[in-house]
Amino acid sequence: MIRIASFNVENLEEDLPLEPGQERRGPTFDERAAVLRPALERMRADIIAFQEVHGQERPGQPRDLLALKALLAPTSYADFTLVTTQTKSSQEPYDKRNLVVALRPDMVVEERIQINQDETPAPEYRRTIGVDEAAKPVRWERPLLCVKIRTPAGREIHILNVHFKSKLAVRDTDLMEDRFTWKSSAAWAEGFFLSSMKRVGAALEARVVIDGIFDADPNAAILIAGDFNALSDEVPVVAIRGRVEDTGNAALSGRVMLPLEDNVPSDKRFTLYHKGKGEMIDHILASRSMVQAFSHTEIHNEFLPDESIAFATDAKFPESDHAPVVAVFDEAVLSNGVA
């Protein structure tokens, strides 16, 4: 079996130095590691798509994924290969919210591509509530990480790691009293609209990338995994699925991407717990050639805290506020697709 996981580890960071007299807010790295490491071991994953991994610096050295490496060091993932998003200028990890694909050392990385509005140019928008004199480009905020790997049996798998914009309204200091207080409902609504544009736009670009892979190989094995900040029937995920019911074109049936969580009972099908309600916003979607080898999905949400209520902030939980999702595939069946 090959176990492929997606896990938003929620702002994974080292302990930052404190100013004199400053008190530490939230759990320490060691406190977080004490609960994250057992969660990782339980996944028994061969490949993990991580989201929200911060980068760290040391004097005279390039920025690196030091917190993630420290987290993994005493685990069964210590020797996994790490493929991360990078800045264009330095080719170092970003300081905040990197996407990382971790894979078994016997799997080969054949290609790494980072895409951010390279396939879909930024649309322009002029605020109706704001005071823009001219339209401005709308940026997705985070890139898409595409990693093509080869398994020991020779099967190529394209893994797309994503983290779409949250549903929080895009802030505008001119239209807000402070970071959390809008001056009018219409101003908030426009910020919410812009947030939706960013999320759906990133999903569109992901779908364009998927279609490009299918253009080169109609039987490609593709997985797209990550924090979509959307349910499976909401626009960002629906755009990526490409169902025949939506396109109206049966000739495109081979390009449909299937969410793999549907075999989990509906009352257990959630990765985020918000105000007493479970929401499935983290997904793994697979192409038909992957689904042929699909066995089942696991969602490890038993310890998931309600990030909205208990402390009125998610900063005090050592756990992530997202549950890991694990999709399990029959390696023998998957390997049958090797040319």
As a whole number of angstroms, the distance between CA 171 and CA 234 comes to: 23
Strand ranges across the sheet with 282-286: 108-115, 144-150, 156-163, 222-227, 282-286, 258-259
Phi/psi at 268 (nearest 5 deg)? -110, 5
pLDDT score recorded for residue 103: 97
As a whole number of angstroms, the distance between CA 331 and CA 70 comes to: 30
Instruction: Provide the CA 92 distance to its chain's centre, in angstroms.
Output: 19
Question: Tens place of pLDDT for every residue, the chain, 339 residues?
Answer: 999 999 999 999 998 777 776 777 789 999 999 999 999 999 999 999 999 999 999 999 999 999 999 999 999 999 999 999 999 888 899 999 999 999 999 999 999 999 999 999 999 999 888 778 899 999 998 999 999 999 999 999 999 999 999 999 998 888 888 888 998 999 999 999 999 999 999 999 999 999 999 999 999 999 999 999 999 999 999 999 999 999 999 999 999 999 999 999 999 999 998 878 899 999 999 999 999 999 999 999 998 988 666 445 545 689 899 999 999 999 888 887 664
- How buried is residue 314: exposed, middle or buried, by Cβ count under 10 Å (0-12/13-18/19+)? middle
Q: Can you read off the two tokens belonging to residue 314? A: 């998610």
Largest CA distance in the chain: 66
**pTM for this predicted structure:** 0.93
| Closest by Cα among 194, 151, 207 to 329 | 151
Q: From the CA atom positions of the chain, what is the Rg in Å?
A: 20
Q: Count the helix, strand and coil residues of the chain and give each as a percent rounded to the nearest 5.
A: 25, 25, 45
Q: Can you read off the two tokens belonging to residue 206? A: 């992901």
Helix (H) or strand (E) holding 211: helix 185-216
pLDDT score recorded for residue 242: 96
Burial state string for 228-247 with b = 16 or more CB within 10 A and e = fewer than 16: bbbbbebebbbbbbbeeeee
